[in-house]
Each structure stands twice: as C-alpha cells, then as structure tokens.
C-alpha cells in the first residue's frame, strides 16, 4: 500500500490525481516551480516542495530535483501525470533504482512503444493491423523511391522517434521524394536527436479513434472502449467523445480485441491507450500507443463509471484488475478550454483571470485548476481546464455542452469557448460527420 504519492506535474492533472489520492486515504506531495507558487495543486496537496525556476527544464523536467523532493518527503511512489516525464523511460528506471514506484509502465514498455518502428514490428508479430508500408528505416533516396512505387502514392514519411505528428511529410508523387526525404530527416534529427524515418501508405481523411486499455502485473488486460479524437487542429486535440459516432458493435469488438493484443504483446502494466487510424470503410490500423494517462481520460470515466486514476494507482500497488471489458453506458463529450484566441489563429493568451464563473448542473463535470485572480503563466501549455458533459444520447450531451459553455464566464484572457459554442451548432458535427480534416475547413463566424 502506498502511504504517500508525489505528483510530478502541475495544473488540472495534478489536482485530478490529488483528488483520487484523498479518496483513497493516500497522502500527497505537490512539486512546483516558482511560477506556480499560487497554484491550487500546491494548496490541495498535504505537502509541497519547490523544485526550481519556471522553465520546465529547471523544474517539471528536472529529474534530480524531483527525486530529491521524493527523498526528503519520504514518498513511496511518483505519479507523472501526462506530458513532462510521463513517457520518459530513463525517469521510470531512476524511480525503480531509488525504490520509488513509478505509477506507470516499466522503462522497457515505454521504450518499446517510444520507438515507432519497434512498436510497429511488435504489432505485426502480435497480429495487430498496421498501415501498409516498408519495414524498417529508410536508408536512401533511391530506396525510398523504389519503396514508394511498391506501396503506391500517396505515402507518408514519419520519424521513428516521433509521434503526435511532428516531422511528418506526405508525398504525392516521385518528384517530391527527394525534398521530403531530406526535410523529414533534418526535422527528425533537430526534434528528436534521431534522424531515423520510415514510410507508410497515406490514409486519406481518416478518423482518429483510440482504445483505452488497462493491464495488471499478472497478465490480465482489458479494454474500456473508444474515444473519438478526430476534432484536432495542428495535432492539438480540441474535442474528444465516447462512444465514437462512427462506431458499430462489430468494429468495437474488433478494435477492442486488437488493442488488447497490442497491450498484451508488451505485457503492458498500467492504463494506456492504443491509437488507431480508421478509414471510411472502417478498416483500422495501429498508429501508436500512449503509455500514460491522457488528457481525455475523463470521457471514458464518465461512460463506463470507472476512476482511471484509482485503477492506475491500484495496478501500481500490485492489485489485480477484473479482466472484463467495459462498454459505454452513456455518451460523454469533452471540450478543452484553452487560453487561446480562436479568432486569431488560436494564439496563446496567458495572463490574469479577472472574473470566473464555472458551469454546473446535471451532466456537467469541470476539471480545472484555475480560480478568479489566478495568473496563467506563459511557460507551460495553455489549458485552463476541461468541460465534460454526459447524457443518455449524443444529441443530449451536445445540448448540455452548449448550455454549459453558455454559462462559463472567464474574463481577462481569450479562450476557446467561442470556438466550442460554434462547433456545437455545426450541422456536420452534430451529425457525427467528421474526420481529422474537419477543422482545416472550419472557420469562425
Ligand atoms: C497518418 C495519417 C495518414 N496516414 N499515417 C498524425 C499524428 C501521428 N500520430 C500520426 N498522424 C497521422 N498519421 C498514415 N499512414 C494521418 C495522420 C494525421 C492525423 C492523425 C490523427 C489525427 C489527426 C491527424 C491530422 C493530420 C494527420
């Protein structure tokens, strides 16, 4: 049993973890940068330790400072949240070396999924469908041209150390190969200190549908259905929902089984997510695995009545999971409320929240760390919070979302609320008629 957990994160996810720890009777330690002195995670935790200057590299990414905070407070375990060190295999290893439980997967599991070519090879062996393409690294422009001819245009070049869309290049014809190969390699080297790239057939107008999974230390793996994350802008998700309006009982059974195979292939332990691309014929392909709790975990919690953070902590303590799968019983939608100006290319808008009213009522959940008078620092992501609604049907969840968005008052900074209000009234969105390209043609009125 853990007596004390250190949360190596900030913002809403730090609060989210503290809340569950409270319910479980586990003491908490917050860590914070000097920019976050007045943050709620510092006030909500039982203890708090300052770990450095505002820059992430000096604080939330500084492993030595975080380990020192864990040692002096006698923490049994560290919860990494999402972002920062959540998918850092070296951090997971250092925790293990210091006898502090990392609440997440082992270094080996993180590494296997962090390298995309290795992940894809593992999936092929496990019988999980992957996007057709070349196996292994691209070694030359000539080889890339020959392979693209075999795979068939359009193709996409991706960084093996990448993920989340960084350093990808879509190639429509042989004339474009040389430039795409060179720039993809350069971007990969600059972003990830690893210039390895690989090729896939480019799936046009796909949906992004991911399956939540959980695995324990005894080889039990289950799935908790899907989230549709197709509403994204420049690889930043803005809206997520469960179930997906594109889902059928048959597709869920097949994707759920594939996701379980994927997690079982690496003996996955903790909660995690298998991301798939789904084409218009409902063919699905493994894209990547996220070996962390995600921002959008709340929509799953609402539709399957399951505290994913509690399960994640229990799994880390060595408890068994039931092993059964979970089907959505309700419909949930999440809107990310960011301090960004949707009328100005979603430009970040940090600063002081001068006035705040948070929506409530039936079917409304708000996960947020802000309060009136809080200053959103410019150093980190611009998320103010997440507004989640839950109802019997998708239509009702959208209606509740529109009502809750209309109640939300955030003054002092620009927010994504006006964007969400317009999206909830969009006819194609309401019909569930969208792919990952939807926001490319969406304009604010
Ligand atoms: C693709 C693809 C089409 N075909 N791979 C973007 C993020 C990264 N995880 C992989 N991504 C994509 N990979 C093939 N073979 C299209 C995307 C993609 C995308 C995927 C999910 C959600 C939004 C997206 C936006 C643009 C491109």
Report pLDDT for 44.
97
A 10 A CB-CB count for 34 gives: 13
- For residue 202, report the distance from its CA to the centre of ligand 1, in Å: 8
Q: Is 285 in the pocket of ligand 1 (CB under 6 A)?
A: no
Place of tokens 């998918």: 87
Nearest CA to ligand 1 atom 15: 202
Nearest CA to ligand 1 atom 12: 165
Q: Is 206 in the pocket of ligand 1 (CB under 6 A)?
A: yes
Report pLDDT for 323.
87
Ligand 1 atom with minimal separation from the 200 CA: 15
Q: What is the pTM of this model?
A: 0.98
Distance CA 296, CA 333 (A): 9
Candidate from 116, 171, 206, 231 with most ligand 1 atoms within 8 A of CB, to mutate: 206
- For residue 317, report the distance from its CA to the centre of ligand 1, in Å: 35
Catalytic residues: 292
Distance CA 207, CA 230 (A): 5
Q: Is 203 in the pocket of ligand 1 (CB under 6 A)?
A: yes
Whether the ω angle into residue 154 lies within 30 degrees of 0, i.e. cis, is: yes
Ligand 1 atom with minimal separation from the 232 CA: 23
Q: Is 276 in the pocket of ligand 1 (CB under 6 A)?
A: no
Nearest CA to ligand 1 atom 21: 208
Q: Is 325 in the pocket of ligand 1 (CB under 6 A)?
A: no
From the candidate CATH numbers 3.40.50.300, 3.30.470.20, 3.30.420.40, 3.40.190.10, the one assigned to the domain spanning 207-441: 3.30.470.20
- For residue 183, report the distance from its CA to the centre of ligand 1, in Å: 18
Report pLDDT for 266.
98
∠ CA 253-259-265, nearest 5°, is 135
Report pLDDT for 385.
98
- For residue 57, report the distance from its CA to the centre of ligand 1, in Å: 29
- Nearest Cα neighbor of 383 from 21, 12, 6, 120 is 12
Nearest CA to ligand 1 atom 17: 165
In words, the CATH class of domain 4-103 is: alpha beta
Nearest CA to ligand 1 atom 25: 436
- For residue 165, report the distance from its CA to the centre of ligand 1, in Å: 6
| Cross-strand pairs, 213 | 223, 272
Report pLDDT for 163.
81
Residues 6+ apart with CB under 8 A from 42: 30, 32, 36, 48
**Widest pairwise Cα distance in the chain:** 62
Report pLDDT for 167.
79
For the chain, give every domain's residue range.
4-103, 132-201, 207-441
CATH of domain 132-201: 3.30.1490.20
Q: Is 219 in the pocket of ligand 1 (CB under 6 A)?
A: no
Distance CA 161, CA 195 (A): 8
Q: Is 152 in the pocket of ligand 1 (CB under 6 A)?
A: no
- For residue 21, report the distance from its CA to the centre of ligand 1, in Å: 36
Distance CA 324, CA 221 (A): 8
pLDDT truncated to tens, each residue of the chain (445 aa)?
999 999 999 999 999 999 999 999 999 999 999 999 999 999 999 999 999 999 999 999 999 999 999 999 999 999 999 999 999 999 999 999 999 999 999 999 999 999 999 999 999 999 999 999 988 999 999 999 999 999 999 999 999 998 877 779 999 999 999 999 999 999 999 999 999 999 999 999 999 999 999 999 999 999 999 999 999 999 999 999 999 999 999 999 999 999 999 999 999 999 999 999 999 999 999 999 999 999 999 999 999 999 999 999 999 999 999 989 999 999 999 999 999 999 999 999 999 999 999 999 999 999 999 999 999 999 999 999 999 999 999 999 999 999 999 999 999 999 999 999 999 999 999 999 999 999 999 999 9
Distance CA 438, CA 233 (A): 9
- Nearest Cα neighbor of 226 from 255, 250, 263 is 255
Q: Is 209 in the pocket of ligand 1 (CB under 6 A)?
A: no
- For residue 333, report the distance from its CA to the centre of ligand 1, in Å: 22
Distance CA 444, CA 430 (A): 17
Q: Is 131 in the pocket of ligand 1 (CB under 6 A)?
A: yes
Q: Is 303 in the pocket of ligand 1 (CB under 6 A)?
A: no
């Amino acid at each position: 049993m853990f007596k004390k957990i250190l949360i190596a994160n900030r913002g809403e996810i730090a609060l989210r973890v503290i809340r569950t720890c409270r319910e479980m009777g586990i003491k908490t330690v917050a860590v914070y940068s000097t920019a976050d002195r007045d943050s709620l995670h510092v006030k909500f935790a039982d203890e708090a330790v300052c770990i450095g200057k505002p820059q992430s590299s000096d604080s939330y990414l500084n492993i030595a400072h975080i380990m020192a905070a864990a040692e002096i407070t006698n923490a049994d375990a560290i919860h990494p949240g999402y972002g920062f060190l959540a998918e850092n295999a070296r951090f997971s290893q250092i925790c293990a070396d210091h006898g502090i439980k990392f609440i997440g997967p082992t270094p080996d599991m993180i590494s296997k999924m962090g390298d995309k070519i290795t992940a894809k090879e593992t999936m092929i062996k496990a019988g999980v469908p992957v996007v057709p393409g070349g196996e292994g690294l691209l070694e030359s422009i000539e080889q890339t041209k020959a392979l693209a001819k075999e795979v068939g245009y359009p193709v996409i070049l991706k960084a093996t150390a990448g993920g989340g869309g960084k350093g990808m290049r879509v190639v429509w014809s042989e004339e474009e190969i040389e430039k795409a190969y060179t720039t993809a390699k350069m971007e990969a080297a600059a972003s990830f200190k690893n210039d390895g790239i690989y090729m896939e057939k480019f799936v046009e107008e796909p949906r992004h549908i991911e399956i939540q999974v959980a695995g324990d230390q005894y080889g039990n793996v289950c799935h908790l259905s899907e989230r549709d994350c197709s509403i994204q802008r420049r690889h930043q998700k803005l809206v997520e929902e469960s179930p997906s309006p594109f889902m059928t009982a048959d597709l869920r059974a097949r994707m759920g089984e594939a996701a379980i195979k994927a997690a079982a292939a690496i003996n996955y332990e903790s909660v995690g997510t298998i991301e798939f691309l789904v084409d218009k014929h409902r063919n699905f392909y493994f894209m990547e695995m996220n070996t962390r709790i995600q921002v959008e975990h709340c929509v799953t919690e609402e539709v399957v009545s399951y505290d994913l953070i509690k399960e994640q902590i229990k799994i880390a303590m060595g408890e068994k999971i039931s092993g059964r799968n979970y089907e959505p019983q309700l419909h949930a939608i999440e809107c990310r409320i960011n301090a960004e100006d949707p009328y100005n290319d979603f430009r970040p808008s940090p600063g002081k929240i001068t006035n705040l009213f948070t929506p409530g009522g039936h079917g409304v959940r708000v996960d947020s760390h802000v309060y009136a008078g809080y200053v959103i620092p410019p150093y980190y992501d611009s998320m103010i919070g997440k507004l989640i609604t839950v109802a019997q049907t998708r239509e009702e969840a959208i209606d509740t979302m529109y009502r809750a968005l209309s109640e939300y008052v955030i003054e002092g900074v620009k927010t994504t609320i006006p964007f969400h209000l317009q999206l909830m009234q969009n006819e194609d969105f309401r019909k569930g008629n969208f792919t990952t390209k939807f926001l490319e043609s969406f304009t604010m009125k």
